[in-house]
Structure 1
Amino acid sequence: MTKIGTTGARAGMVPLALLAVLAAGCGTQRAGGDAGAGGPSRSAVASPSTPKDFPCPGESPTASPQPSTATPSPTAPPTDHYAENHGFMIPFELHGKRRCQGLAAVARVREALEPQRRRGRFSPESVRKALVGLGYSGGQVQAYPGDGGVGFLIQVDDYPVCVEGSLAGNPDLDGATTKADAFGGYPDHEGCDQPSGGH
């Protein structure tokens, strides 16, 4: 009986000793002490890095930077929580090879829709047919009536790389325009369609 009790006491002391060792290492730096002498300063906080972009095929090396869809990092506490609560609706930017893939998809889409833009005759059906003609499956393409024209959304691949835009206007009056932009989906959401709710 004595042996069992001793073994139990020793087993209980191992976590207690480990806790004592861990606690001894905490709080050894005093306020006003030299933080840089023995290690990194407290101000050296790791921040996520943005992948470096490079010129894509057909793009000049001095291309103008794309507008950022990312929210700026807060330097002061936000005055309201609108941006925080609606962050799930801000699409991811594409970088590196995925950015080049997105730019190539945008160029193909613009070229496919150019005949309809010049004629000024387009409908959701004709836009969808032109985009499916590029090799995208019917499930990857959405075309719908939009502000004075037709809006479209394509899921180029499963990353996802998405292309969203519109074909609108009248070439005889104000000129028809084709708008198309590539992005990388949304936070906490699969696919390319903008989520209606988040957390």
Structure 2
Amino acid sequence: MAAVPALQPSLLDLVADPSPEALAGRVERRVLGDGAWVDRCPGWLTGGELFPALVEGVAWRAERRPMYERVVDVPRLLAFYGPGERLPEPGLEAARSELDTYYRPELGEALATAGLCLYRDGRDSVAWHGDTIGRAAKEDTVVAILSLGATRRFLLRPVAGGPSLRLDLAHGDLLVMGGSCQRTWQHAVPKTARAVGPRVSVQFRARGVR
């Protein structure tokens, strides 16, 4: 199992995680153009037990990938739960259930998978990309991101060029990228020189989207 950061006791650890609240009436949508949009719900999941449970309990793995004619370490730890697999904590099952209730009428199908990333500190990051492996290369879809732990900057930029969007995702925030967003926009979590603690990103996707 990959090494994970040791967590110091904090206020996050002292409050149990309730089930996520209903999204209806709380989601703020921003239309990006070209069929793309993002929804945001700050502080959707409150409390702190889920975050340390994931950091310490998930079988995180380190990966290496080819990049620029070299094979390099992926600067974050990963876990993936495919269709039909039980998620590692009941809080994630509850979150996915509420996301399905809210987004299935628009998406037309369930969110079937969960990808988890552990950013151990400010040196961990994800480069500019769109989730275009599989069906999202040609089809509209939804990628819902639940952010837990330390606040990190999340960037979006249009593939065709133009103004970018900067968002600071804090503990419990929900960000949903929808429509053509994976094809017409890219997103990234940049490195930072600031002293930041660990963060877990949970990405809920439809079947066949990565």
Normalised by the size of structure 2, how large is the TM-score? 0.28
Which structure is larger by alpha-carbon Rg, 1 or 2? 1
Alignment TM-score, normalising by the size of structure 1:
0.29
Higher relative contact order (CA 8 A, sep 6+): 2
More helix by share: 1
Normalized per residue, which structure has more strand? Answer: 2
